Amino acid sequence: MIKKILVANRGEIAVRIIRSCREMGIGTVAVYSDADRCALHVLYADEAWHIGPSPSVQSYLHIDNILAAARESGADAIHPGYGFLSENPEFPERCKEAGIIFIGPSSHAMSTMGDKIKARKTMTAAGVPVVPGTGDAITDELEALQVIREIGLPVMIKASAGGGGKGMRLVKREEEVRPGLRAARSEASTAFGDDAVFIEKYIESPHHIEFQILADQHGNIVQLFERECSVQRRHQKIVEETPSPILTPERRQQMGDAAVAAARAVNYEGAGTIEFIVDKDLNYYFLEMNTRLQVEHPITERVVGVDLVKEQIHIANGKPLALRQDELKQQGHAIECRVYAEDPENQFMPAPGRVTHIDIPYGVGVRVDGSIYEGFEIPLYYDPLIAKLIVWGKDRKEALERSRRALQEFKITGVKNNLRFLERIMHTAGFVEGDYTTHFIDDNEDTLMQDETCDEHCEDIVMISALMEYLRKIRKASPKEMTALKNNWKDYSRVRSVLKL
Ligand code: ADP
């Protein structure tokens, strides 16, 4: 039985995993880089080990350093979280060699599903529908044109090793094939060290709908229904909900069955997600499998009533699944909003910096998984996801109203963030009506993109933040510096008015 788990990750997911371990009475080991010395996961874990400098290649991606921390701390298992090493097939192998349990699937399942070309072949053999396209990697323009003439334009040229929305090119006309092929291959080579690309039919106005599965070591597999992830910016999700507003019970059943078949085809073990792209007629096609916990897993936890991290640990312990498919139900509705330290007005550029103030929403139906606190310096080295707001309501209407309420209460100052942008999504007609596709953000750019500084909601919080910053400065200031502060600091007069001086 696992007694101590090293979490090979950081941020909100490391904190989230540590919490489940604590509830199970399992010891926890955090690992951290230079930039994360004061990070929340370090403070939450029972013990914390330094694993290297700030760049992730020298720390969170450094297998030797992580295994050394596991050995020295006496951890008997490693949870990889998501991102970083979670989908690197070398990692489970290396854990095995070191006699440490890897909480996740086998290296074989990971490498089959991590290679989109291999995955497409395996799915086709298992009878799971894939997007029409090529069976093998394409290197040559003529070959590409031949395929395109068969399946028809538009198409996507995609990196076989792709992830995070990178290495994808939309091709609408034949003249775009040659530059598209070259660009996709070069991007794939830089981002993933593998320039293999393939061609897939571009599905117009699609939905991204994925199914959560759990598989134990004894051949039992269950599916825990879908998550609708069509609100995306640059092919990356920012809002997810379950149930999907568009699925019928019949289509849900068929897709759930296909997800189980997909997992069975690679002898899957652990928690995983089968992603599908769905067209307007509800035709569904396998996109890829994520062989790990997803960022958006909490909405499934809320609606189905499971703790997926605990399930992962039970599976790694060799226990048979206690969940039975015919007993699983979706209850109510859940929505997740991803809170990023980024600037929606400036092409969602990451905006690291020091958090000066944070108001976290509480109350019925609200869960916040986060990794920041007041005074925390968000490092520039990692993904700028800083918190997730997960709300539950008895139906979609209530979940939506609750999301709006919670977002209104949620305030972060000191760093640019997308909270007001998320709030506007919750008020935008397409989302309100549950009638949206992966083009939702682009289609609603005018409504969604507003100047944050003029936003009424922001006004008070900007003022409070200015006041706090001012108080912080004057606490340390000499009389001379005080004069300089008064003369130079643009918010001084606003602060005076707040204090009624
Ligand atoms: P990644 O592994 O980089 O996340 P995916 O294959 O999962 O890439 O696709 C990410 C997103 O890109 C999808 O959710 C969808 O919005 C879009 N996409 C991918 N393939 C297609 C396609 N064939 N047609 C239309 N959109 C697509």
pLDDT tens readout for residues 71-99: 999 999 999 999 999 999 999 999 999 99
Quick one: tokens of 210?
């994925």
Cβ of 231 closer than 6 Å to ligand 1, yes or no, is no
C-alpha 239/C-alpha 77 separation (Å) is: 32
- Ligand 1 centroid to 357 CA: how many Å? 36
Cβ of 203 closer than 6 Å to ligand 1, yes or no, is yes
User: Regarding beta strands 47-52 and 27-33, do their DSSP bridges make them parallel or antiparallel, or are they unpaired?
Assistant: parallel
- Ligand 1 centroid to 41 CA: how many Å? 31
- Residue 22's H or E segment, with its range, is helix 11-24
Identify the CA nearest to 233 among candidates 348, 380, 351: 348
What type of residue sits at position 207?
H
Quick one: tokens of 375?
């005074």
Peptide linkage before 154 cis (omega within 30 of 0): yes
Query: Tell me, what's the pLDDT at 461?
Result: 58
Give SS3 for 414.
Answer: coil
Residue to mutate (ligand 1; options 131, 277, 441; most atoms within 8 A of CB): 277
**Ligand 1 nearest-atom number relative to CA 237:** 14
Each residue's pLDDT tens digit, 481-493: 777 766 665 556 6
Each residue's pLDDT tens digit, 256-312: 999 999 999 999 999 999 999 999 999 999 999 999 999 999 999 999 999 999 999
User: Which residue's alpha carbon is at the smallest distance from atom 15 of ligand 1?
Assistant: 235
Decide if 4-103 and 132-201 have a common fold: no
Cβ-in-10-Å burial (0-12, 13-18, 19+) of 490 comes to: exposed
CA 84-86-87 angle, to 5 degrees, is 105
What are the structural domain ranges in the chain?
4-103, 132-201, 207-452, 453-500
Mean pLDDT across the chain, nearest whole number?
93
Catalytic residue among 10, 292, 302, 367: 292
Sign of the CA dihedral 59, 316, 326, 219? positive
The confidence band for 501, taking pLDDT boundaries of 50, 70 and 90, is low
pLDDT at 6 exceeding the cut of 70: yes
Cβ of 277 closer than 6 Å to ligand 1, yes or no, is yes
Identify the CA nearest to 131 among candidates 111, 109, 151, 115: 151
C-alpha 156/C-alpha 374 separation (Å) is: 43
DSSP H helices, 240-318, are 249-265, 297-300, 308-316
Domain 132-201 CATH superfamily: ATP-grasp fold, A domain (3.30.1490.20)
CATH number of 4-103: 3.40.50.20
pLDDT at 454 exceeding the cut of 70: no
Each residue's pLDDT tens digit, 393-412: 999 999 999 999 999 999 99
pLDDT at 457 exceeding the cut of 70: no
Active site residue 16: no
Cβ of 216 closer than 6 Å to ligand 1, yes or no, is no
- Listed in sequence order, the residues at least 6 apart from 166 whose beta carbon sits closer than 8 Å to its beta carbon are 159, 187, 188, 191, 192
pTM over 0.85: yes
Residue 184 CB coordination number (10 Å): 25
C-alpha 408/C-alpha 144 separation (Å) is: 49
Query: Tell me, what's the pLDDT at 163?
Result: 84
Cβ of 437 closer than 6 Å to ligand 1, yes or no, is no
The confidence band for 477, taking pLDDT boundaries of 50, 70 and 90, is confident
* Nearest 10 degrees: Cα torsion 163, 200, 141, 234: -40
Query: Tell me, what's the pLDDT at 456?
Result: 47
Q: Are 61 and 10 in contact (CB under 8 A)?
A: no
Cβ-in-10-Å burial (0-12, 13-18, 19+) of 307 comes to: middle
Query: Tell me, what's the pLDDT at 455?
Result: 47
What is the full DSSP assignment across 132-189? Answer: SB-SS----HHHHHHHHHHH-S-EEEEETT--TT-SEEEE-SGGGHHHHHHHHHHHHH
Residue to mutate (ligand 1; options 151, 199, 237, 287; most atoms within 8 A of CB): 287
> Span 2-14, mean pLDDT?
98
User: Which residue's alpha carbon is at the smallest distance from atom 21 of ligand 1?
Assistant: 202
The confidence band for 499, taking pLDDT boundaries of 50, 70 and 90, is low
Each residue's pLDDT tens digit, 373-387: 999 999 999 999 999
At the second CATH level, the architecture of 207-452 is 2-Layer Sandwich (3.30)
**Ligand 1 nearest-atom number relative to CA 165:** 3
**Ligand 1 nearest-atom number relative to CA 438:** 16
